[in-house]
Amino acid sequence: MIEINLMTVGNLKSSFLEPGIEEFKKRLNRYCDLNIIELKDELVPKNPSQKDIAALQALEGERIVKSLPERTYVFALDVKGKPMTSTGFAKSLNNLQVRGYSSFTFIIGGATGLSDFVLQQADYRFSLSHMTFTHQMIRLLLLEQIYRAFKINNNEPYHL
């Protein structure tokens, strides 16, 4: 079975997102083993400098890299990453599976984003949108897109 790891910096703090996340966790259960890995986030000071942000990213980045599962294909969500359509994303996952990958890890940074070091460790950097969303909302959006990819790759209709 395919393993999907959703690695996030920080805990889910928006209770209104929980029902949607739980729904997609249930839906994904028939397609993959889903692991949500929450890592400690750093407290962002008021009016942080670039140096402050870089230091926070470095601390969070160390936790991320240490927590990456072995032999996993790493996707980093990055506003500067390559945008993908839903069908393009599904095709990419399918092609990677054909090449022998069975474990995929998706990294969602915290409030300050991901460090350059983490981005360099990723196999692929992509953006879900040109718009900016909270790192908390991205969890739900990404789970929905992963679910949609499995539906597309299994030639199943997708209706909410």
> What would the pLDDT profile of 33-46 be if each residue is shown by its tens digit?
999 999 999 999 99
- Is 128 annotated to bind a ligand? Reply is yes
pLDDT band at 13; cut points 50, 70, 90: confident
pTM: 0.95
**DSSP code per residue over 31-56:** TEEEEEEEEPPPPPPSS--HHHHHHH
- Is 129 annotated to bind a ligand? Reply is yes
Instruction: Tell me the CA distances in angstroms from 131 to 13, 79, 83, 128, one per residue in order.
Output: 21, 8, 11, 8
- Is 10 annotated to bind a ligand? Reply is no
The structure tokens listed for 111 are 């409030």
Lowest-pLDDT range, 12-16, 52-56, 65-69? 12-16
- Is 106 annotated to bind a ligand? Reply is no
pLDDT band at 10; cut points 50, 70, 90: very high
- Is 88 annotated to bind a ligand? Reply is no
pLDDT band at 135; cut points 50, 70, 90: confident
2-153: CATH topology? Alpha/beta knot (3.40.1280)
- Is 130 annotated to bind a ligand? Reply is yes
pLDDT of residue 160: 52
pLDDT of residue 89: 97
pLDDT of residue 158: 84
Residue 141 has pLDDT above 70, yes or no: yes
Tell me the domain boundaries of the chain: 2-153
Average pLDDT, the chain: 95
Residue 28's identity, in one-letter code, is L
Residue 123 has pLDDT above 90, yes or no: yes
As separate numbers, helices (DSSP H) first and strands (DSSP E) second, the chain gives 5, 5
